[in-house]
Structure formats: structure tokens, C-alpha cells
Structure 1
Amino acid sequence: MARILLLIIGCVVVSGNNREEVADVREGQDVTLKCRFNNPSLLSTGGQIYWMRQRTGEKDNVAIADTPLDRSYTVDLEPSEGRYDLTISRATYERDNGMFECRFKEAGTGSDLHTTTVNLTVLIPPGSPRINPEAPTATEGQSIDLVCSSQGGSPDPQIIWYRSGSDQKLYSVLKPGGGRETPTTSVLTINPGKDDDAAEYRCVVWNRALTDNEKMETTVVLSVNYYPRITIGPENPLRVELDQSATLTCSADAKPPVSNVRWTRGGRFIGTLNTLVKERVTLDDAGRYVCQADNGLGRLREAEVTLDVLYGPRVSVISSKDVDEGEDIVITCNVTANPAPVTIEWLKEGDDSFRQSGVDILRLNRVSAVNQGNYICRAVNILNPTGGEPSDRIGNATVAVRVRHAPGKTYITPAEPIAVQGEQSTLTCGAEPPGWPMPTYRWWRHDSDATLTLGANYTIPRASLTDEGTYYCQPSNRLGKGTPASVRVRVHQPPRILENLPETAIHRIGTTNLSLTCRAQGKPQPSIRWLKDGEEISPADGLYDILVEQSSLGQNAAHTVQSTLQFRGAKRINDNQLLPTDRGTYQCVFKNDVREVSSSQLLRVEHSPITVHKPNKVAFNLLEDAQLECRMQAYPEPKFQWSLGPNFIEPDGAHYATNDTTLPDDVYASVLTVRGVTEADYGSYTCKGTNSRGEHKTIITLQEKGRPEHPTNLRVIDKGTDKIELAWDESFNGGFADTIFQVKAETMSGEKPSHDCQTKNPCIIEPLAQQTTYKLQVKASNIMGDSDFSDPLEVTTLVNVDTIPEPEEVYFERTGNMLSFKVLPTDLMLQGQVEFRTVDSDEWTPMETLVQISSDSHDHGEVFLGKESPDDVRIRFCSVFVESSCGNYRIAKKVDYLPPVPSQSMSMQYMVAIIVGCVVFVALVALIFLCCCCRHRNNKLKNKTADMEVSHRVVTQQAPPPPYYTVGMDNKGLDGSMDTGLDDPSKTAIYSSQQYHNYSQNGHVNPQNNNGMGYMDNSYSNSNNGGSVNSQDSLWQVKGHGEAQMTTHMAPHMAQDSRGYQYDPMVHGGYGISGYDDYSHYPPTSYQGQGMVDEYPGSRGNYVTNGDPYAAVHKPRKRVEHIDGGCDVSGMPDPYMEHYEQGGAEMSSDNKPQISFDESLESGYSTPNSRNRRIIREIIV
């Protein structure tokens, strides 16, 4: 067996030659106990060495020297190394668990020279923990011990207590067992409360035989009996409104539970239920209620709740108070309420201006008849019952303050009485002030002074026409009389029908000149209307004519009205024949201010059957039961006969069955049922209806189920600003009842949103944009597919009036009778409505025509008001589609003359300003860049000044050098690149210089156009790359306007050179240079005239002056303030400037233009007259 050496853990105590160690070994494993000598020579002194075991108080040697005394023990004695180790094989608890001693005794004396003590523990896992008691039960407030024990482990285990849900160790008392035979215990003492009930406690056991992650544990649940905890409510105090139900609850949480509770009030027992109910609480129910509970643990618990009864203000005052005029009045208002009122105030009936707030005493000083009346004491409090919302409660009481006085001005109500013939009518007389003591009222008529009655009211029991007239009333008491008052009584008579319509009438179709007559009497004169099936009849329909005759007897007599409804009109056969559609209920309705009466007749028309059903198709699949319904309107009742093709169908009950029914409005239906449809059953069925007036046939097709047919008769039911209600006629559904519909709403911009209406018809399409035209189409769908879309219907939504702008800057010019206004930006299509009023009238009169508003977002409009001379004018904007959808009016400001209208909107001005600013900024940046380049070149030119300074007058004239032609034709004045851009006649030249040059446009000479040159990117320089190293001509080139040809037929002269390269000193920077500039020493060769230009029209030859490729570059005139600039682009002498005389003769030096220098024209390239001039030339190599 392999020997396993265990790590010896513990403390090693060394004192001289004595050493104490601790070692662990698992039962059944090997362990070596080490005994080492620090001085190996000690073993050679002749002493005795041995191992001794001490266990359960007994000692025994286990090895002497190198001889073990047990077969399970072996020794390793190496004196030279000072080692004497004891190895134990298959350790057991009973044998090896104890203390081992290694001793070396001195020979002769027996003294211990060395001792090593090893406490060996044979590790055995502890036994399963057990808790006693296993089901502990405790009482609140009485402590209990929980004992956890474990037996059989070595060494004695640790026992720790925890409460479930917590990692905190609980304090407990541990009692070690001292061996595996005796259990180790841990006692946990708990003082339990209610919270400890059902708490779980955990006992954890561990010793060194287990790993750190291995633990043995057990749990126990503690049951705690606790005293009652009483919850009383539902709220304390419990607020309940008077006469409402109150419920007091008392619940006791106890263990063992409480069997019942005990309610008391004022020490008096009132109940044992957990719920105490008061159905209608009174003020006597208010107070404190006590709930007691006992669960037998010897302690009685109780709780208290207060019932607060709320009620609104109870107000009381004296009923009346009589005083004389001039006296003072003091009246007290008594108010009780719970809670206390928040407001107490005095009001007066009929006088909203009277109010005394915050006081419960009414005070009136020096009263008069005006103070008489009913005064109200009003109190308000706020009730906030438990579980409810706060609400106001109002209480009031009224006191009649009566001031003794005579009646005042008398009045009668109603002011314009109308009595109805045969009914009671009452007149009431009153006075203001009414008078006190209560006056008596005397009534009489205009035709007699006899008293009709004494009292405030006069009643006519049954009014008749003779009761019409003027009635008088006058009040009086002991203090005086009131003024007499009168009122005229008119008696009206309700319409009474004198000639009724017969209840029923039957006529044959085609009957001519049929009419119905009604006659009635009433006052005032009744109006007459004719109705058919509840809808009013209009003669404009072309089917009826209505005649009305009126008569009356005397001024106050009733009016007789007779009306005749004639069945005649343009839509009838021969204008007077009866039609089948005339069947229905007719009413003549008479109405006046009193009431409405009517007489009715049911008119039945005898005619042959007419088909009224649709569609004429039905669809069923094979083996289904098909039903074909045929509906016909007829009178008398028709008989139905069905046939399929030429064969009549006889109902047999097996395959065919029929069912005939009667429907309203003389409509009859016959339903043919085909059971178990086969292929042979598909086809066209004929339904024939026959009565005494004739017969009629209709075809109904039976087919298989399929797609629906597209809807028809698309129409608008209603529309708004963001929705349209649409309806349509449903066509054949393909045999499926659950057909659904989809609406496509296409806008003018091409958007095609779809709206799913499902089975709704009509259907509301929303959301939509306001004042937008939609093209609406509907399609039907079922499980077999979709139908085609219906015919389109264009509908425009309304405009939201809140989005219509008000007119701005509205002015009325009185001198010119003109109205001016401005329209703010809007996408709406609007028109203006103008109204005016004159000095003599306060009513606004609309203009006959509407003002059309332009689509311009900043439109100014003017309206001439014609011959009208209004005092005020106003205008508003309305939708062009619905004239009633309008914004607010704006009244015009009156002026003598209209203010000027800006040519463009302010936003356009801002835009132009921004564009101009950007152009100026870019030009400024470009100018700075050019100046920097010029300064850079200046520095180089100064270094070459001495070599280039040659007197202008002594230069020998010679022919000009030939032009240079490189691959790309570097003279871009002749290059093909000039053809692009300049050939476009539509381009307008900008920034042109006003010089004496004539340019031809589109191949035609235009001698009047002296400007029109603009800057261009192409160079006119003859030097390579558009100019020489020092040349700046390429920086400021001009192009012709359109296809400008720089040519002329005029001869050049000094005063005005008509050719395109006339030298202008201001064009070239303002420097008066004598002679012909730097190239004056080159004489002109020959004059090349118009022929060369015309030889190549439209080509690059059109862009040279008279065909001269060395003509002067035309440059714009510089501003005077820029002439002295440090880097003048045009300041250099033009190297290509040459002048010719007429006929090509040379110009003599005496005729050269002489322009002297002055100080104002100094530049970096010239000096004033006081110094010698230095001329910088461009050398062509």
C-alpha cells in the first residue's frame, strides 16, 4: 500500500530538547511522525530511544530503538542524520487517535535528553447534525433553546447557527464531545416574537475531515404563538357623510387565531363580528369605538377608531321681518356644520349686485321700498369622506324683509299673451316695488269698466275668438295705488282639418289627372306641405303639382286653406299618367304657430310585376345548396314560375324547392333552392311573375364562386378638412358575403395611399391633407381575388379656417375708392370677400364679385369698389372650394393715397443682398490674391530693370515678329477654345467697359453697341501659355458679347479709332505713354480688312480685331481711386498696341499721341516727371 504523507498542521512548540507537534491522518491512510535531533551526536552517547503512545489515559511503547512493537508501525532510525521517524500504516481511530512521544533517555540516569510529542488526530467526518426539538413551538416573549448535536466525527466538529436568508452567525453555546463516542452540541437561545414565526434556522457542522466547501447542515422551522395585533379602520378617524353607510373593520392577527372580536362603545358591548356596519349614520353615531381581541395566551389586546359624521351646513333664520321705511334691520344667521363652513354670505333674490360675505349678521340701514325682498343666508363647507372625493355642501335659509309701502309701476305677464282657442290662458299682474301690505289687484277689459276679478292672476277658462281684446290691471293697498297696466290678448286657433284624405285608395297604372285634396282652418293662417313616405314633395321634381287656395272671414276670423296635390309633371307619361312608383303613403300637413296636424292616405297602384332585386347573379360551388331570390313589386299579388332554359321547374322538395313571401311596399319575393348543385345546374334561370295586370320575366344567373365585381356609383357622403366619408353601390360579390373594400386616394403629386375599409360602407377615409384634391377609387376583394377599381371620383378636402391667414396691410383709399391688401405666404387656394358699410347703416354689405388671390406667396392685391361710397371696408380670405370656409375679417385703414407697393418681397431683397455680398466677397479675395502675385513678380522685375531700360524714341522700327503657333495654339485669341462659350449668343456680357469699340453680334455689325465686353478665362496674349513671364494681360481679358466680331469698316484716326484695338490710356491704367508703347518700333505691315473675317464666319477669326492677332487687349476702365495702386494689373504698357493710319500708312513720330505724366498717376512701374522714366518691356523670344 502506498504511503501517503500528510501535511502536519498545527503549532510546533520547542523548549530546549522538547518539541510538540500536531498531525492529522484520515482513517485507513498512512502517516509518518517525525522525530528529529538538532544534535545527531546525541544518539552516540549510549542512551535509549523509543516511541510511546498515550490514548484514553493509557500509555504504551510502540517502538524501541529500531524495533517496532506493532506490525502496523515501522521506524526509520538514522543516528548519523539525527532522524528517528515512526510510520503508521492504515491508521485507525481506536488505535492511533491520541498522543505519540519520541523519547531519548540517558543511559544510567534515565533522564530525558530529547522529547518530541505528536498529537495525532485520525480524521473522521462528523455525523449528521440533529436539532432538538425537531418541531419547536414557542410563545411570544418566552425564550426557547434549540440544540444542534453531531456525533462520530474526529476531531470534535464546529457547530454554527444561521437564520435562513442571512449569512450572519448567531450566538450559541458550543459543548465539545471530546471524542467520537460523545456528541458535540451547540445551544441557540431565542427570545421569539411575531417575526420569528415560521422562521427557518440552519445548523451547520464541519471538522477537518471535510474540505472547506463541504458542510453538513440541517434546518428547523420555528412556530411562534403570538398575541393579537389589531388593525382597525378602514381609516382612523373614519369620516362618513350623514345618512350614508359606515363600515368599521377590526382584524386581529394572532396565533392561535382569534375566534371573534368584541366591539364596545363607552364601555357598552355592541357586537362580536369583525365588521361593524351602520346603515344610515346619524349624528348620535359619531364617537369612539373600541375593538378587543384575545387568543388565549393570557393577554387582551384592543384598538380604538373614531367615527366622524360629516354633514352640510344647517342654516336657520327668522322667516320674515316687517319694518317701516327708514328703520334699520339686523338679522342673525345660525349655522351648524361638520366640518365648519368655509363661507357664510348674504344674498338677495333677484339682485345679483347685493352680497355681504364673511358675516353671519345681515345689516340694512335706513331701509326703503328698494330693500324689500327675500334675503338668503348661504353657508358652504367642504366634505371629504373617507374613500371619496371632496365635495361642496351648501345650506341656505331665506328671510322675507317687508318694508311697508304703496305699489309702484304695474306690469302684466306675459307681455304679448296668445291664447289658444278652447284652452285655458292666464294673465299675471305685478308691481315694482310690489307694495306692502300685499295689494289687491283689479282687472277689467277695454270695452267695460266692470271688474272682472280681484287678484294677481286672471284666467280665461276656455279661450274663444271673442276673448280677444285689451285687459287692464291696477294694484292698491292702504298706502296707495299702483299705476294701471294693459296688455292685448290675441286668440289663436290651431289648424283643424275640414276635409280629410281617404285612408286608402287604389288606382290602376296609367290613370290620368289623379289628385288629392285637403282643407283646414286655423289662426294664424296655416302653411301646407305634402309628404310621400315621409319625404316632402317638391313640384320641381317634375312629378307633382301643388295648388293652394286661401280665404278668411273678417279681420279676427280664422283662415281656411285648401290644397290639391295633382299627379302631373314633365316626367310623367303624357304629363298626367299614374306610375307604379306613385305607390306610397301621402300626407297633407297643416302647421301654424299653435301646432301641426295632418291627414294621410295609402295609395296603391295596380300594375304588372316589376323587378326590384339586384344583382342578377348568384354564385355557389358544386354540392352546395344554392338559393336564387326573385323580388318583384306588383299589385295585386303576383304568382311566380321558375324555369331553367326552356324547362319549367316543378318543386319536388328533393332537388328544387320554392318559398314565396310578402314584403312591405307591395314587394313579393320567391326563393328557389337548388340542393346539391351540379354542373348541369349552372346557367340562366328565368323568374316570371304574373298578376291580373300582366306578367314580367327576369333572368338570374347561377355560377361558380369567383372574384367580386367592381363597385359603382362612388359618391361623397360628407367631407372635412382631413377626412372624406365615401359610399358606393356594391356589385356582385362573387358568392362571398365577407367581401372587403379598399379605397385608393391618389393626389395630384402621384401619392397613392390605400385605406382598408373592411366591410364598412360608407367608409371614412382619413387622415388626409386639407384643401387637397384626391382621385378616389374603390375595389372589392374576397378570397378568390380582387376586382378592378371603380371609376375615379375627384374630391377636394375642406380648408381648416384656423390656417387661413388674415389680410395684412389693408388700406382703403378714399380718393380713388380703392382697397389694397397683402397676402401672407400660404399654400391654400384662396379668394377674398369684401364687405362695406355706409355712414347711414351699421350693416355690412358684401360685394357681388369675389377677389381672386394670386398664387404668389407675397401677393399685393387691389380692388376697385365701383360707384359705392363706403365709410368702412373690410376683407377676409375664403377657400375657393367652399365659400363658407373663411378666416377673420380685417378692417381697412382709411388713407387718402395708397402707400407704394414694393416690387419684390422683403425676403427677395434679403436674397439679392446676400448674393451681391457673396460676389463682392469673392471678388475681393481674388483681387487680394492677384495683388500678392503682382508683388511677387515686382521683386523679380526690379532686378532686371537695368537690362530692360531702353529709350523708346531711339528704337529702330522693324516688322513685328511672327506669331507663335504651338500644338495647342497658345494664342487663345485664335485657339479653338474661344469658339466654345463665345458662340453662344444667349450669353450676355457683364462688367463691360465703355470704350470706343464696335462689336458685331452673331456675324452682324452693331455700330451702336459700345459696351458688352466681359471678363473671360481665355487669354488674348501672343506669348506662350497665354503671356510672357512678366506679362499680366492674361489676368484681365475681355470677351465679346455673343459671337462678337471685333471688326469695323470705319477708318481709324486719332480722335476716335473705330477699330477694336484703339488705345485708351485710361483702359491701360491711366498712364500717358508717348508713342506706340513698347511695340511702336514695329511698323504695321498691311491692313487686313473685312474679307478675312467673313471668310470664316463663326470661327476664331471672328474674335480678332480686323483679323489682327496682335491687336490690343480690351480692358475695362479702372476707377480713379485704384490708379495709384501698388500692383496695377493694367498699369504695364500694352506690348501689342499699334496704331494705323487710314490706308495702312505709317504714323510719323510727330503724330504720336503725347500724354505727360503727373503726380497723380504714379505707380510701381513709372516715375513722376521730375525723374527719368523707366520703361519695362516684354521681350518676345
Structure 2
Amino acid sequence: MVMSVRMAPPLPLIFLIMIHRVSSADWGVRYSPSNICALKDSSVTMNCTYTYPTGHQIMKVFWTKTKDKNETEEFLDLSNDTEYSQRLQYLGDKQQNCTIRLSHVTLKDSHKYFFRFTTDKPDGKWLGKTGVTLTVTDLQVESPERVTEGDSVRLTCKSSCTLTDRATFIWYRNSQPLTERRDRNNELLLQSVRREDAGRYSCAVHGHNHISPAVQLNVTYPPKSVSVSISPSGEIVSGDSVTLNCSSDSNPPAEISWFKGRRFVGSGRIYNISNISSDDSGEYKCRSINEHGEKYSDAVTLNVMYPPRNVSVLITGSGEIVSGDSVTLICSSDSNPPALNFSWFKGGKFVGSGRIFNVSKISSDDSGEYKCKSINEHGEKYSDAVTLNVMYPPRNISVFIKASGEIVSGDSVTLICSSDSNPPALNFSWFKGGTFVGSGKIFNISKISSDDSGEYKCRSIDEHGEKYSDNVTLNVMYPPRNVSVLITGSGEIVSGDSVTLICSSDSNPPALNFSWFKENESSAVGSGQSFSALQSGRFYCQAHNQHGSQRSDAVTVTEHHRSSWHKVFGITVACGAFFILAIIIIIVILFIIKKRRSVKTEDHTVKQLSYLNEDTYTTLELKSTTSELY
């Protein structure tokens, strides 16, 4: 290269000096300025120049936020970063100028940025390590939250750093620019502030779109113009709804308190009295108070007309009321004018009039809640209910049997005694027939048996008397028991005849199903309560009802053969018996015929006597008539 310079034609001295400086230039990057404070949403220009040795050719230039890199990673090119690619503009070249512009900066863009370039030489890589520090700030209005009317107020438009570019500040109240220039650089001074100066204040920098968040300025002052209005106007009658409204001008809004005379009665701008009564009569006023002072309204008067109130019932006499006593109820009330009309009610039913209500010879049917009603021209009112609790001895005594359907031997049965008495009876006694068997409202029989069958009743006792219930019957069902066989005759059977066996048992309900068995045989040989045995052996019966069965002990039937003499004797006896029976029948027939004839004779005699009596009566009647006519 030196040779080429020598062979070249002569150059001007200035050009030769420039070539000397370029060839002798070293690696370097220069930033101007190195610290930038920019307003949010503005555009920032980072001025930059760089140098490199002669003989190098620039291959790549870019900006990065990374000062150091890992061995396996390259520096990040901001133009490839999605957060910057649309906002970053490279204004430099590949010679010496490395200036960039970053638009619409945000608070996240606050960072340190570095310029990086590479050449065509193996060692031709350079990073300007001093970098450019970018701080992005927004605007904030600094103001007292509240000021008192007449104070001086200073509002300041602040940023987190001093803006690099000289700024001219603009002020707004309620989004409208302030026409009066009362600002000093970034401050707004309000002297002797008025309530009209209250509002939302914000600031901005001339030439920029960014406006600070608005800050509310409150101008406070004590209450004034405090007054009370009454709705409705005119006469106020008890039962009406009356509203008192307190109005005042203050900031902050005043707390309102209400007073009747000197007594505190409520809070809030509106004081409502619904269903007003005479107790609400009097003078009312409101007090308006905030942190800067307080003020009372003038007093207003409520004059309430009212119907009866404090209506109550007095019961004459003391102590317990017992059936048969005489009781008097007296109604008293407070009203204007005094009530002259009184009505009495038992529950909701009208029972009488007048201030005094008397119940003579009271009974349990008179028990209940009583109240009176007092009336004047403005309205009416009921008293609270008073209770007449009439004591009486037990009545309506009854027994309830608690069992599931039919009562079977072995079941558990409960008898419950209920009664009506006042006070409730606590003494209960149980009787089976006339025998005492237990105490208490509940009488329990566990594992009941047939011995427990019978009539039961309970007796209820309180301090005023006693009473028995009607009888209830316990009919206990049980399976057959005491099953036995009765043999008619000696139990010996003669060939050709039979022996009758009868089965008896004790059960409830009575057994209707009987089965007969010959011992050592599984199948029944007969049924029914009686059985004719035709052969010898040991026989037993089994009695059944719906609750179970039981078998008897076995009985023995023996068989004997009959002789020819016995046969002749038997025929003779049978013939004799038939002959005797025929004679008896003939005698009975003759007796009946004779009896009928005797009856007919008696009837004829009676008829003759009857005729005779009628003639005699007629004769006597004629004589009497003749005598009377005479």
C-alpha cells in the first residue's frame, strides 16, 4: 500500500492528512449524550459515532441491551426483537454514524443500550461498552388532597428524572386547559383558593401527547345555611308518617344529627317518623358538622293529636283461678280526648262492652286470651292480651293401647293414660278389674300372656280432683296348649266296631283344625275334633290355630274278638230296645190327642161364659140408661 501511495500522483496536503488519520484510527464508539431522560410516549434519538482500524470493512451494525454474552450465544439485535422491531429506526450508516431513533417509548424501555459492529477480519468485533442509559418517565401531579377555602395551594407536575429536552408545561382542570397563566415552570400556584377552584387537575408537556393522571383537588369549608323543613305540613295526627329534612351547604359533606329538645334522636339528612304518636310531640332541630365547624338549624315544633295508647287490662283478685270462681277484668287507656267506647274480645271473638267485664262462675271453657279495645275520634287501640288460666280437675280420661294389631302371647303391650286437667295430672294409677297393678302415665306389659287378659282402666289425679277412665279390654291370643285325648268307653275295641277319640285343647281363638296320627306313622290318619279308631294302636291328636299348634300325649286302643253268644245277646238287646222305643212313641201320640180334645172343650166353655157376660153387661147398661132418663 505504501508503494501505491508513492506511485500515485501528488495529492493536496489536507487529503493526505485525512488519509493518515483514518489509517491510524483505533476501535471505539462514542455516545452523545450518554444519559437520556425521555417522556413516556415520546421519540428518543440516541446519537452515536464509531471508529475502527484501516483495512477493515464493516459487515454488520446493530444495537443491543446486552453488555456481555455467553460463550454459546450472540448479542441480541434489537431490530429482531418484537418489542423493538416496529419502533426502532437506524439512522446511521456503515461508515461512522450509528445513531438510532426509538419511538413511543414506555416505562419498560428504561434500560442501558449498546452499539455493536463487526468487520470482515477475524478479530473485527467491537461493542461500545459505555452505552446509553435511557430513563423513561411519566408525569404525576403532586397536590394536597384537600385545602380549606382561602388557603394558597401549589400544584407540581413531577417526573422521575430531569427531562433531557427543555420542557414547557401545560395545566388542565376537569380536562379543560387553564387559560390564565398562573404557572411557574412545572408548578401551578392558586392563591386564596375558592370553592370554584375544586376539580380534577392534570399536566402535560407542550408538544407531547402524554397527559398525567388527574388529581382531585377538594376545597373544603364549614356548614352554612342550615334549615329544617317538615313534610307534610298542617295538622299531624298520630299514625301519620312525618319526614324532617335538614339542608346545609358544606364541604366535606356534613354529618347531620337530630335533637328533640336537647336529646339526640337520630342521624342523617332525613329524619323519618313513621306511625307518629303523641310521644313524638316537641321541638326538633338539626346540627350540621364537619371538620371545619358546625351549625344548628332553628327549632321546629311537632304537635301530635293521638288516639288511645297504653291500653292495658287489670285482673281483679289474686292467686289461682279455679273453676267456679268469679273474675273481673278492667280496661284502662290513655287517649286525647278520653275514650268512652270499650269492647272486649276472647281471641278474635267479641264477648262484651264497657270498661269492666265480669265472668261469674268461671269454667275451663272461659280459659283463654282476653283483650280490650279503646276508641276515640282519632282511632282505636287494643290492649295486650291477658290470659285467664282456669284450674280444673281431670276429665276426658282415656286409655290408648299401643300394640301392632292383634295381641299375641309373648308380645310387648303398652297402655297410655291421657287426661285433660289443669294443672296437668302427674299422678296416674292402673287397675285390672278392681286390683291395683301399677303407676305412671305409661303401663307396660312385656311378654304378655293369657293371664294378662282382662279389663284395664287408669285413674288420673291432680290437686283439684281425680277421675277414672272407661275400661279397655286386653284379649290375648295364644296357640293351643294342654292338648289331650278323651276315649269314650274303656278304650277296648271289638272286631267290627270302633272306639271314638275326642281331642280337647285350650287356645285363643279356639282351635278349629285337628289332625290325628298313629304313633310311628308320619301321615295323618284322620282329622276333626273326634276320631273313630277301627283298629288297635297308640293314637295322638294335634290341635292348630293361626298362632301355632301342639300335640297331645298318645293313648292306647286295644282290640278283642267277639264270641257267638255275644252276637245273639247283641241282637236280642237291639230288638228289645226297638220294641221299647215303639211303645214310647205310641204313648206320646195318645197323650197329644187327649190334650187337644181337652183344649177344645175348654174353648167352648169360655165362649159360653163370654156370651153370658155380654148379655149381663147389656142388661146393666139398659137399667142405668132407664134410670137416668127417669
Q: TM-score range by the shorter chain?
A: 0.3 to 0.5
The structure richer in strand per residue is: 2
TM-score (norm: length of structure 2): 0.34
TM-score (norm: length of structure 1): 0.19
The structure richer in helix per residue is: 2
Name which structure has the greater RCO, CA cutoff 8 Å, separation 6+. Answer: 2
